[in-house]
A and B are shown apart, each in its own frame.
Chain A
Amino acid sequence: MIEARGLVKNFGKRTALDRMTFRIGGKSVFGLVGSNGAGKSTFLRTVAGIYRPDAGKLLVDGEEPFENSGIKARIFFIPDYPYFFPQADLSEMGRFFSRIYPHWDWKCFREMNRIFQLGEKTRISDMSKGMQRQAALICAFSAKPDYLLLDEIFDGLDPVMRQLLKKLVSEEISARGMTAVIASHDLRELEDLCDHIGLFHRGGVLLEEDLDELRLGVCKVQAVFRPMPNRSEFKPLDIIRWETHGSLLNLVVRAGKEKVLARLNSMNPVFVEVLPLTLEEVFISEMEVAGYDIENILSDKKA
């Protein structure tokens, strides 16, 4: 389990992680989403033991990872721009990691090479961005970590490779109980893969929830009212977004489907329908509540 307690990380005067507190359970896939500069990469680097927290604690299975070789041996981090030795090929990187990571599996390394078909003797610096990410994934899976931290891993991977990655991650979780923490802006991919989602914004956590419960807990509703009632009449529903086009009302409500239907039906609508909500829509809605939406950004710009 990864646990953050009042975690703070500053870079000069800028606070990247602001008293963050939440947990990531084991044997699952945790998706980190958030606005730009929300602190996702900083959080991953803190979990990987690269950054030392300025305040608070970050615990992995009860121990702090910073300068803790025992914990770090169970964590593998792939950053957004993975680094390889200059002029190195995949086999050299494999030899390097095999000396460092105690659970390194050469059989898995060869198998991964067969699956991804990169070529062990090809210089990594000559590879494309997507291929370099694949090389990083080969090394990561071969190290057999308990915690796999991926930062913007889908960026540069073609759709087939994305599917392959999702499959491999799922297999590792079910076979070995690995935990994967994936930070990405590609909400569609995360939606397919993640069990839990954490929504970061400006160094804090806006929400952290099971994905299914998140979907169940937020509804998108289209309804037609004649005449259009006031917003206040929709209490006690927690309305995240309100949009009207004439007599057509589009709502995003934080509540269960039955509760929403019951309330809206009691107001005698002409038409009401609950629609499936994508993770992207949840993200945008929650960001609107936090004041991070297009209208606010544009109005700030004009000001």
Chain B
Amino acid sequence: MTSRTSFQTKRLEFCKAFHWELKKNAGISGLLAALQFLCMPLILLLEFPQWKEGRKLQYASTTKPLEQYESYLKLAIPAFVLSLSLLFAVIFCVRLFGYMQNKRSVDLYHALPVGRGSMFLGRWCAGAVLLSVPVALNFGITMWVAAANGISSAALIKSTLQAMGWVLLFSVAVFTFCSFFVVCSGSMMDTFLSVFGINVGFPLTVYLGYFLTAYTVPGMAISGGDAPWQIMTLLAPFPAAYLPLSSDTVSAGFLPWWLCFTAALLVGALLVYRKRKSELAESQLAFPVPKIISRFLLTICGGLTLGLIVGQANLPLFLTGVAAGSLAVHTAVEAAYSRGFQGLKKSFRWYAAFAVCFAVFYGVFATGCFGYDTAVPEESQIESVSAQTLVNNSGENFVVVEGKTIYLKPKMKQAESIRTVLQAQRNIISWYRKNSFPYVPCSCSNDLTLTYHLKDGRTITRSYSLFSEFRNQQEALLKYADSITELAEYRSKNDVLYFFGPQDINVVRIGSGDSPSGKTLDMKSYLLSGRNLPLAQELMEALRSESFGNVSSLDSNNSGLASVELDYRGRIVPGTELSEALGKKYPYVDGTSSLYYYRKGGKVDSVLQKITKELTPYDENSEQMTVPAE
């Protein structure tokens, strides 16, 4: 009886709080609805007639109404609708929960015969409803406008509903997130500092940590450019809100995470509010955890950012930058929270915590991440090895298929090749150990990637930078890479020259400048006429034996060099080495080119001179192949 009475009482109190706040803030919700109406349904109402007449939006590449509608939604939803929802989520949070940060309003609300739980939940529900109704209404009107103009594609309706779902979810997520921090903080200033600190500091910390991981330990096979956006926004609802609307796919865990995180924040806020002391209003001594976390994250960001800016590949500068940046940001954040410097001295124990964490984290990577830097598989374990390099290419190791660039994935299986690769890797490791240890971050590209395919099915990948403006003595590194690229097996598997036959050559472009001719010659029609296939074969064999992929290891001012580019186009025969090297079934190679350098006066030069006499120029503006003169 008591528990039922108590539940009924709480339900009644909840309803009182809910209805009152709903009524009091209905006007603001109406404003949100009106603004979102302006951004979406109204614009569509005005634009549809114009689209039907064939006029198009400035940024659209099509005049079709359906595609223009899609384009507009892709712009309007994240830029306007979502942004407005997030802004109003913050506004509602301040209006509904700001009372607990003012001593006078606390005297009123906490003296009322309404339990804290009921008051908080009633207000939260009111806020969620006030945010959701305008969104649902405007999406509903948008879909009605589209349907009235003949757009009723099921896929489009589904995607619009999905977008509405994301906007609703993240409006409520941001609202709940901010509410949690209002409950934890003593003033609105502290709340905004904490919200800002987490939403900026967390993604940046993850990114910088990822960057540090990717660019410190030699061999780390991840690219600093492939930042894990979804992990970066794991605790930051403001940037996370834009992810599902601006990228084609989000991971399967994204939606459950945000549902659970929002629910956890709501429960957390409720529990904290019930324990929160009324006297904390306007106090800086409200629950310190958000401040500690926010300050910690921003300190990391400040330190790593400055360290990476000033100290790439230079340990003393890097550490100095980290120390200076972190100290400056820590001081600034503490001063902002404390409205002065009175709490600064005490806060340095937390700075010490950051210093220890950084020392441990960086120390792990600077010393090779528990042997990651020196790990080399045993020769007996290896079935095959692939090597991809951005320098010292013998030619081109990619083809263009259906407009996409597909890289060859050659696997070297010969024992000598494997041994050579292993030795090259050991040499590179020794070089890094001797010249760069302890390791310092350096945003260098991964110029050489070695992938070992082991007999037990595992794969070990290592990527190394061979070229950097910050590093000296890189000739040794390039020499180690050359030992791999000069392998016969490597050349034969990593250059399209070995996969194509003379019948696949479409066009021959002889380089200008050092070249005698500077012409583009039509090989395809020459071969179609059935003449002199052996000449094309001779060219390919000459290039295989004498050409260089690029001149990085040569004297680039050598006037004895010339270039020739072969343009391939043709069918990919299944079962051939090319189709195996591509790793997937592709029917047709489309416009792939490979560039070769050769020394004048050699075999390549002589074959090209013969070809020049035989072939007519290639008309790139004509789709018709020209037939050479008899």
B-binding residues in A (CB < 8 A)? 11-12, 45, 48-52, 67, 69-73, 75-77, 79, 81-83, 85, 96, 99-102
Contact = CB atoms under 8 A, between A and B. Distances in A.
Interface-central residue, A71, A73, A82, A99, by most chain B CB under 10 Å: A99
Contact of B115 (A50, A67, A99, A101): A67
Contacts of B20: 96, 99
Nearest to B275: A52
Contacts of A52: 277-278
B534 interface: no
B111 A49 contact: yes
Contacts of A51: 277-279
A12 B279 CA distance: 10
Nearest to A95: B20
Contacts of B252: none
Contacts of A100: 16, 112-114
Given A11-B279, A83-B104, A100-B16, A70 B111 contact: no
8 contacts: A49-B110, A50-B111, A50-B278, A51-B277, A69-B9, A73-B113, A99-B20, A100-B16
Contacts of B110: 48-50
A52 B115 CA distance: 13
B153 interface: no
B70 to A, nearest CB: 44
Contacts of A11: 279
Interface residues of B, number: 24
The secondary structure that dominates the B interface is helix
Given A69-B13, A100-B113, 8 more contacts: A49-B111, A50-B106, A51-B279, A70-B9, A72-B113, A81-B104, A82-B104, A82-B108
A18 B111 CA distance: 23
A99 B16 CA distance: 7
A102 B19 CA distance: 16
B529 interface: no
Contacts of A85: 24
Nearest to A67: B115
A140 to B, nearest CB: 11
A77 B113 contact: no
A77 B116 contact: no
Interface in B82-122: 102, 104-108, 110-116
A99 B24 CA distance: 14
A67 B112 contact: no
B289 interface: no
The 3 closest A-B pairs by CB, nearest first: A72-B113, A73-B113, A83-B104
Given A51-B277, A51-B278, A99-B20, A79 B115 contact: no
A75 B111 contact: yes
A269 B19 CA distance: 76
Contacts of A77: 107, 111
Given A49-B111, A51-B279, A67 B116 contact: yes
Contacts of B115: 67, 69
B108 A72 contact: no
Contacts of A82: 104, 107-108
B285 interface: yes
B112 A72 contact: yes
Most buried by B among A67, A75, A81: A67
A72 B107 CA distance: 13
B113 A48 contact: no
A82 B106 CA distance: 10
A45 to B, nearest CB: 7
Nearest to A92: B24
Contacts of A81: 104
